[in-house]
């Protein structure tokens, strides 16, 4: 947990772009003090730090190689500690070294026990030198084995495979790239051609069951009709086998989660299927027709048990969403449904006439129209018409369709402005403060009054980014400050990583100057699925004009709370970072400096936040400058 990430693509110096919470706790430095410093860790050196070891580290960095050493570092307070330093280069998809991973392990206690005197310390240094030469010899021997293996691979691959597994103990080097989908073997995609054909086969089998089961229940009450029913035993058993095989395939078929992501994990697929349709499919697949094979007397009660197969029709309702966008398919399904209803009604009337019983309470069939589903299809049709009229390329078309479907699955098409339009302003402001409580708890808003916070909450919006999408481009006009709720992003300039952002980070620009337009100095790209909250600079300025007593305090503190300032010309030089005392982001008080000032410390985000789920469903809306559709309209005052 104690590690640093440094940029390995710059020619001069390797600046730190990320540091963990454990490193800050170990050294006592705040994240703002460590970011953009040189990764050679000169700021941790002291009187007992070995200069040859530091020179060796710098040579390893220049050569972009692995290294492990024991170094005496110093904390911010001046306390010395022995550290086991491990340096590993990280490569991208092209095999280029783009980052360095520095791992720190505190070995002060173990070293004090094993090195009580200076002589033992000198011996240990000799041992480390010997172990270094031994590791060099081991690496040389490993390279020789690799060359020999490549030379004789064509002759005897089976013999060399064992040797390669025995001698190659080198740990795998991590890679720096956009999160890729981890797909297990023998996983069936729910949108594949085979799955589509299989669904059609199951659909035909379901219609067969819907026709034969009511007929057998109503018309096989006598022995003569029961003997006639044995003629369909083969087809009935074949349908049962299809249903059983469908259960097996569903345990290996992907699905779309509530967040709009395709799930490939076999364990998650099994749990989801067991929690949804497994028991329905299992009951419908019970092999009642095997009773005929074993010559067991079949009564009318057994035929009634077979009506549970009609539960398979519930799966048909699940697939109507997929087929309802095609008019010909909708017409075919409607005709089939009407035919089934007519068949069922005829069977019911036959039973009534034959048994001569009084009819009980009537059950009427009501057709319910789902307005939201109709709205979904209307918007989807409008989107496809727009794509067709403007002849958008296939890649852009696919991105728009996937983004629309994902956002709709998250918010179900709820329009927050329309929903809260008739509510009073007091209630709307309280709702906005609840939805945006995370960003309002930032240290920069600690001194703001409740009225100021209520006004700010009406200007806060939420956004969503998929992996690989650009939130901002270099040179764009910056129109908002962004707060990362979940996920990870990277800040790029000329394809060089400047910073990695995670949960709890604030990115944007300060309002110190009166520039009419603020140009962004770098690109901001999403590495994973990201939920963002942002406040427009124009709305922020309007609120600050209404509360001038807070405006001066905000302008003085905002540049300290920004994890990365996107204003052109505001970035710091590599290695130059002001010393700031720590402060928590969760609303803790500022600790005083020796000179009487205050400075913040921000908690560090994790690189991947995929395991976390938001407590509430936020209304999603990207900024006005982004070319994406709005997920949910933001809460704004009626005057806007």
pLDDT tens, position by position, 310-325:
777 777 776 666 666 6
Verify that 342 and 444 share a domain, yes or no: no
Same domain membership, residue 429 and residue 347: no
Phi, psi for residue 264 in degrees, rounded to 5 = -110, -10
Greatest alpha-carbon pair distance for the chain in Å reads 109
Same-domain status, 336 and 425:
no
Output the pLDDT for position 495.
87
Among 313, 335, 354, identify where a domain stops. 354
Q: Among the three residues 338, 354, 370, which one is the final residue of a domain in this structure?
A: 354
CATH number, position 61: 3.30.450.20
**DSSP assigned state of 12:** S
CB 606 within 8 A of CB 615: no
Same domain, 634 and 537: yes
Q: Are residues 551 and 620 in the same domain?
A: yes
Q: Count of residues for the chain?
A: 640
Does residue 26 surpass a pLDDT of 60?
yes
- Clarify whether residues 201 and 79 are in a common domain: no
Separation between Cα atoms, residue 293 and residue 339, nearest integer Å: 31
The total number of structural domains in the chain stands at: 3
Q: What is the pLDDT of residues 405-415, one digit of tens each?
A: 877 877 777 77
Cβ atoms 66, 138 nearer than 8 A: no
- Give the domain-ending residue among 354, 372, 389: 354
Question: Is 629 found in the same domain as 489?
Answer: yes
Asked if the structure places residue 163 within a domain, the reply is no
| Residue 348 resides in a domain | yes
Q: For the residues 194-199, what does the mean pLDDT come to? A: 89
In a domain, 152, yes or no: no
Residues 618 and 470 occupy one common structural domain: yes
Residues 324 and 444 occupy one common structural domain = no
Same domain? For 419 and 330 the reply is no
Beta strands in 487-577 (DSSP E): 489-493, 496-501, 506-508, 523-526, 530-536, 564-565
How many angstroms separate the CA atoms of 322 and 325, rounded?
A: 7
The SS3 assignment for 302 reads helix
Statement: residue 607 has pLDDT above 50: no
CB 60 within 8 A of CB 67: yes
CA–CA gap between residue 572 and residue 527 (Å, rounded): 24
Indicate if 463 and 607 belong to the same structural domain: yes
pLDDT per position as a tens digit, 493-505: 988 999 999 998 8
Q: What's 428-443 look like in SS3? A: HHHHHHHHCHHHHCCH
CATH code (residue 613): 2.60.120.10
Is the pLDDT score of 86 beyond 50? yes
Answer whether residue 610 is part of any domain: yes
150 is a domain residue: no
Residue pLDDT, tens place only, 479-495: 888 999 889 999 999 88
pLDDT surpasses 90 at 384 = yes
Q: Which domain holds residue 439?
A: 415-640
Domain shared by 97 and 232, yes or no = no
| In-domain check, residue 130 | no
Is there a domain that residue 122 lies in? no
Over residues 524-577, the pLDDT tens digits come to 999 988 888 888 888 888 888 888 888 888 888 887 788 888 876 555 433 333
Rounded average pLDDT over 235-241 = 86
pLDDT attached to residue 525: 92
The answer to the question of residue 214 being in a domain is: yes
* 320, 333 Cβ separation under 8 angstroms: yes
Q: Is 317 exposed, middle or buried (0-12, 13-18, 19+ CB in 10 A)?
A: exposed
């Amino acid at each position: 947990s104690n590690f640093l990430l440094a940029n390995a693509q710059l020619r001069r110096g390797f600046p730190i772009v990320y540091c963990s919470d454990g490193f800050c706790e170990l050294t006592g430095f705040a994240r703002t003090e460590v970011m953009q410093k040189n990764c050679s860790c000169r700021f941790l050196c002291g009187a007992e730090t070995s200069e040859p070891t530091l020179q060796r580290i710098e040579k390893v960095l220049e050569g972009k190689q692995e290294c492990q050493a024991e170094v005496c570092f110093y904390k911010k307070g001046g306390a010395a500690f022995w550290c086991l330093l491990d340096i590993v280069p990280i490569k991208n998809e092209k095999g280029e070294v783009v980052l360095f991973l520095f791992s720190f392990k505190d070995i002060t206690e173990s070293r004090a026990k094993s090195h009580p005197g200076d002589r033992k310390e000198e011996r240990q240094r000799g041992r480390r030198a010997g172990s270094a030469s031994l590791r060099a010899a081991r690496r040389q021997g490993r390279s020789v084995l690799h060359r020999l293996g490549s030379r004789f691979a064509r002759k005897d691959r089976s013999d060399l495979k064992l040797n390669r597994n025995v001698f190659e103990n080198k740990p795998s080097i991590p890679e720096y790239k956009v999160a890729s989908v981890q797909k297990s073997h023998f996983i069936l995609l729910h949108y594949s051609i085979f799955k589509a054909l299989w669904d059609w086969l199951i659909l035909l089998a379901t219609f067969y069951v819907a026709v034969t089961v009511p007929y057998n229940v109503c018309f096989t009450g006598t022995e003569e009709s029961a003997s006639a029913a044995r003629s369909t035993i083969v087809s009935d058993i074949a349908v049962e086998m299809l249903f059983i095989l469908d259960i097996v395939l569903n345990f290996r078929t992907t699905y779309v989660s509530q967040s709009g992501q395709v799930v490939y994990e076999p364990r998650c697929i099994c749990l989801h299927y067991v929690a949804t349709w497994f028991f329905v499919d299992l009951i419908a697949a019970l092999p009642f027709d095997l009773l005929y094979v074993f010559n067991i007397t079949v009564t009318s009660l057994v035929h009634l048990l077979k009506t549970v197969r009609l539960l398979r029709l519930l799966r048909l309702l699940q697939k109507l969403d997929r087929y309802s966008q095609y008019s010909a398919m909708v017409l075919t399904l409607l005709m089939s449904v009407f035919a089934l209803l007519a068949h069922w009604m005829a069977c019911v009337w036959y039973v009534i006439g034959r048994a001569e019983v009084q009819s009980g309470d009537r059950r009427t069939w009501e057709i319910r129209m789902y307005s939201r589903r109709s709205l979904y299809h209307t918007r989807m049709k409008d989107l496809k018409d727009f794509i067709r009229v403007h002849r958008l390329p296939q890649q852009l078309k696919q991105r728009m369709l996937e983004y629309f479907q994902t956002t709709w699955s998250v918010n179900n098409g709820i329009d927050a402005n329309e929903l809260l339009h008739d509510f009073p302003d007091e209630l709307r402001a309280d709702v906005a403060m609840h939805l945006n409580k995370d960003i309002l708890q930032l240290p920069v808003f600690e001194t703001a009054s409740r009225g100021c916070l209520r006004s700010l909450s009406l200007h806060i919006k939420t956004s969503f980014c998929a992996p690989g999408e650009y939130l901002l481009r270099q040179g764009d006009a910056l129109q908002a400050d962004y707060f990362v709720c979940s996920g990870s992003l990277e800040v790029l300039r000329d394809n060089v990583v400047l910073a990695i952002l995670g949960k709890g980070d604030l990115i944007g620009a300060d309002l110190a100057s009166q520039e009419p337009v603020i140009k962004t100095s770098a690109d901001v790209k999403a590495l994973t699925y990201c939920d963002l909250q942002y406040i427009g600079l124009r709305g922020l300025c309007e609120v600050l004009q209404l509360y001038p007593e807070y405006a001066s305090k905000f302008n003085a503190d905002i540049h300290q709370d920004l994890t990365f300032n996107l204003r052109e010309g505001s970035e710091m030089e590599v290695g130059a970072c002001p010393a700031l005392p720590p402060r928590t982001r969760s609303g803790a008080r500022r600790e005083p400096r020796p000179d009487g000032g205050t400075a913040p410390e921000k908690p560090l985000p994790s690189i991947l936040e995929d395991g976390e789920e938001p407590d509430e469903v936020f209304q999603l809306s990207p900024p006005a400058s982004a070319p994406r559709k709005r997920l949910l309209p933001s809460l704004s005052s009626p005057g806007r």
